[in-house]
């Protein structure tokens, strides 16, 4: 395992902070940018919830590994639905910010594409070690980071637990609310004083 990849994996929850600070400095949200970005964030969070409902709380670890191979729900369309959902959420936040979109959107996309590519490579090494041919079969059928219209028959079945998903996502919800409140505050401040 690469030490840099392991570091990025462990601190993946904190990597959005530099981009968020930059966005808050330049943000000029409007009601329409807020609504559009918020809808994208909601869609991204739904994908995350759906993924956690199938994968369980094991997605909240700082150690690379998995107690079981998850191929149901969104995992039948994409191998990394949590990261795909996150990218939608981050892009939604940038749209809410409504400033420098011509460079902030590509910067955010590239930033997280690189980060998730490093993390996914690390996770896949581990999954091949843990699940061998079953994971290789799954990996051959399902795209890594961008879904397609096809659906594979799950290799293994696991019950879906929405209650556990909502419980597991509570810190994610809290961080989203904090970001939305900061951007809402920026919108109100900009309308009052500029």
Structure tokens at 50: 């759906």
Structure tokens at 19: 């981009």
* Rounded CA separation 51/64 (Å): 17
* Contact (CB, 8 A) for 8 and 119: yes
Angle at 77 between CA 37 and CA 145, to 5 degrees: 60
* Average pLDDT score, the chain: 85
CB atoms within 10 A of CB 75: 23
Alpha carbon of residue 172 to chain centroid: 10
* Domains present along the chain, CATH in parentheses: 3-8+19-57+66-193 (1.20.120)
Residue 15 pLDDT: 83
Residue 168 pLDDT greater than 60, yes or no? yes
Residue 53 pLDDT: 93
Residue 7 pLDDT greater than 80, yes or no? no
Structure tokens at 127: 């999954």
- Give pTM, 2 decimals: 0.85
Residue 84 pLDDT greater than 80, yes or no? yes
pLDDT in tens, 42-69: 999 999 999 999 988 766 666 666 778 8
């Amino acid at each position: 395992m690469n030490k840099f990849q392991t570091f990025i994996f462990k601190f993946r929850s904190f990597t959005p902070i530099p981009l968020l600070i930059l966005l808050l400095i330049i943000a000029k949200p409007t009601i329409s940018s807020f609504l559009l970005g918020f809808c994208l964030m909601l869609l991204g969070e739904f994908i995350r919830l759906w993924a956690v409902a199938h994968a369980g709380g094991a997605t909240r670890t700082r150690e690379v590994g998995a107690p079981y191979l998850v191929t149901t729900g969104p995992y039948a369309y994409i191998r990394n639905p949590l990261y795909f959902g996150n990218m939608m959420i981050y892009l939604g936040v940038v749209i809410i910010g409504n400033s420098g979109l011509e460079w902030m959107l590509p910067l955010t996309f590239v930033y997280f594409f690189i980060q998730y590519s490093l993390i996914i490579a690390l996770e896949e090494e581990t999954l091949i070690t843990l699940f061998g041919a079953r994971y290789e079969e799954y990996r051959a059928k399902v795209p890594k980071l961008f879904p397609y219209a096809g659906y594979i028959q799950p290799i293994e079945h696991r019950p879906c637990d929405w209650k556990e998903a909502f419980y597991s996502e509570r810190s994610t919800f809290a961080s989203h609310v904090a970001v939305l409140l900061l951007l809402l505050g920026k919108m109100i401040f900009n309308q009052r004083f500029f």
